[in-house]
Amino acid sequence: MPKDYKDNMPISRRKFIEELRRYEKGSVSRRHFLGVTGLGFATAVMAGAVPGLRPRKAYSAGELGDRVVLATWPNYHDEANFSAFTKATGVNVQVNVFGSNEEMLAKLQAGGSGWDVFVPTNYTITTYVGEKLIEPLDLKMIPNYAADAFEPRFADAGTVGGTVYAVPKNWGTTGYVVNTKHTKGKKLTTWKEFWDITKTDFSGRTMVHDYQLTTIGNALKYFGYSFNSVDPKELADAEKLLLEVKPHLFAINSDYQPPLRNGDAWMSMCWTGDGKQLNTDMPEMEYVIGKEGGEIWSDFYAVPKRAEHRAAGYALINFLLDPAVNARETLAHGYPVADSRTNKLLPKELLEDPILYPAQELLDTLEFGAAATLTDPNRAELLARFKSA
């Protein structure tokens, strides 16, 4: 996968300061900040949202307003696509980047998020609907969305009670990446091995996400429990494991690329795209899906209620779902798409990449995240106890 062309470009001072302010306000995550400022190794994804640099485009200007605010995940877009969107519509894309679904929910719950479009993960959508935080999508405004082109298992979560609330963006898996230089020839294949080697040979070298769903879920897998369990007894087992492992961890942090690259950390829980990026640059980095299972996920575009630039938001979703645009997105970030129209435009070697498209028998064991984990107070508190222990 080609690395984002922005990766090696120095960031402008102005943009840096702007990013910094946003980070300080808490509207972007650290991971994003580090990525975008070039301070981290993560590839930069950032829209041309610098005030004063906005191109004045007469075409349909005024119709959609001059900006749209997108809340999304790090390393998850091709900036060239945003520029193209701005060129076509006169609307600048302002990007807020988040590290967990919990953070997104917290922001929407607190009110005044200011977003027009955001990217929730499959299991959170029913909660957003239940809390009346997102609106049913007006599909007439998204002609590029063709329901029959999408694989249903990655699209269904967007529909709640027969109403479409969200349309699919990308999907992926959560496994772990391991630096095989340090495994002494041993091949890791399971979550049990992930946790066990952390307590021994990899002590002080493993990272887990700062994210309840994956960190708790993959600890549950150690015991063969469901990734989504909210059973108190099973959670107690997971907590025991986590507390036992904690002294052996390098860090609890979702920004795992930099330490993996500089050699401080040898292994980390990892999402598809990061695994692909690391493996491309450092072939010794191997992406593993635990045999016991783990997470498969699908991300969506949704529109919060009372979005300020609603029309521009719909226009952006429609633009990004254009198969040609979507293909460019995947080429930039390395996450697969469930849209058959887009896949036709992608190179064969990408469609056969085992990191993006793991073997069927591995995929079969994976679970989609369950809505209950998002709101379950015990899981949230468990992670907090783990971190503060």
Partner 1 sequence: MQGKWINRLLLMPATAWFLVMLVLPLVVVAIFSFGERGAAGGYVPAFTLDQYLNLPARFTAFKNTLLLAPAGTLAALLIAYPLAYFLAVRASPKWKTILLVMVIVPFWTSILIRTYAWIFILGGRGIPTLLEFIGIEGVRLINTPFAVLVGIVYGYLPLMVFPIYVSLEKLDKRLLEASADLGSPPLRTFRQVTLPLSIPGIATGCMLVFILLMGEFLIPALLGGGKVFFIGNALVDLFLQSRNWAYGSAVAATLVIIMLVTVTLYMKLVARVGEQREDVSIL
Please, are residues 230 and 376 in contact by the beta-carbon 8 Å criterion? Answer: yes
Please, are residues 210 and 99 in contact by the beta-carbon 8 Å criterion? Answer: yes
The answer to whether residue 305 forms part of the interface with partner 1 (CB under 8 A) is no
The answer to whether residue 45 forms part of the interface with partner 1 (CB under 8 A) is no
Q: What string marks each residue from 105 to 134 as x (binds partner 1 by CB under 8 A) or -?
A: xxx-x-----------------x--xx---
The answer to whether residue 31 forms part of the interface with partner 1 (CB under 8 A) is no
CB of 33 to partner 1, least distance (A): 8
The answer to whether residue 284 forms part of the interface with partner 1 (CB under 8 A) is no
Instruction: Find the binder of partner 1 among 5, 26, 324, 354 (CB under 8 A).
Output: 26
Segment 151 to 210, residues that bind partner 1, using CB under 8 A:
204, 210
Half-sphere exposure of 125 (CA within 13 A, CB side): 30
Instruction: Find the binder of partner 1 among 81, 96, 100, 206 (CB under 8 A).
Output: 100
- Binding residues with partner 1: total (CB under 8 A): 43
Structure tokens at 169: 């963006």
Structure tokens at 103: 């953070």
The answer to whether residue 103 forms part of the interface with partner 1 (CB under 8 A) is yes
Residue 224 backbone dihedrals phi, psi, to 5 degrees: 80, 10
Instruction: Find the binder of partner 1 among 249, 327, 332, 355 (CB under 8 A).
Output: 249
Please, are residues 96 and 72 in contact by the beta-carbon 8 Å criterion? Answer: yes
**CB closer to partner 1, 249 vs 316:** 249
The answer to whether residue 253 forms part of the interface with partner 1 (CB under 8 A) is yes
Please, are residues 331 and 346 in contact by the beta-carbon 8 Å criterion? Answer: yes
Instruction: Find the binder of partner 1 among 251, 282, 311, 331 (CB under 8 A).
Output: 251
Amino acid identity, residue 183?
T
Question: How far is it, in rounded angstroms, from Cα 247 to Cα 32?
Answer: 27
**Strand intervals (E) in 60-105:** 67-72, 92-97
Instruction: Find the binder of partner 1 among 259, 275, 294, 336 (CB under 8 A).
Output: 259
**CB closer to partner 1, 30 vs 77:** 30
The answer to whether residue 240 forms part of the interface with partner 1 (CB under 8 A) is no
Q: Label the pairing between strands 366-368 and 285-288.
A: unpaired
Helix and strand totals (H; E) in the chain: 18, 12
Question: How far is it, in rounded angstroms, from Cα 313 to Cα 375?
Answer: 27
**CB closer to partner 1, 219 vs 321:** 219
Q: Spell out the residues 6+ positions from residue 260 whose beta carbon is closer than 8 angstroms to its own.
A: 177, 179, 207, 266, 268, 278, 285
CB count in 10 Å sphere of residue 354: 11
**CB closer to partner 1, 192 vs 246:** 246
Instruction: Find the binder of partner 1 among 152, 263, 347, 354 (CB under 8 A).
Output: 263
**CB closer to partner 1, 249 vs 356:** 249
CB of 339 to partner 1, least distance (A): 31
304, 350, 381: which is closest to 115 by C-alpha?
Answer: 304
Question: How far is it, in rounded angstroms, from Cα 148 to Cα 245?
Answer: 45
**CB closer to partner 1, 91 vs 260:** 260
Instruction: Find the binder of partner 1 among 174, 212, 298, 318 (CB under 8 A).
Output: 212
Question: How far is it, in rounded angstroms, from Cα 15 to Cα 49?
Answer: 9
Q: Spell out the residues 6+ positions from residue 76 whose beta carbon is closer than 8 angstroms to its own.
A: 45, 119, 170, 273, 333, 335
The answer to whether residue 326 forms part of the interface with partner 1 (CB under 8 A) is no
Cα 178 to Cα 69, 160, 202, 322, 360, distances in angstroms: 36, 38, 10, 35, 21
Instruction: Find the binder of partner 1 among 102, 286, 339, 353 (CB under 8 A).
Output: 102
CB of 131 to partner 1, least distance (A): 5
**CB closer to partner 1, 83 vs 375:** 375
In the complex, which residues of this chain contact partner 1 (CB under 8 A)?
Answer: 20, 23-24, 26, 30, 33-34, 39, 100, 102-103, 105-107, 109, 127, 130-131, 204, 210, 212, 246, 249-253, 258-259, 262-264, 374-375, 377, 380-381, 383-385, 387-389
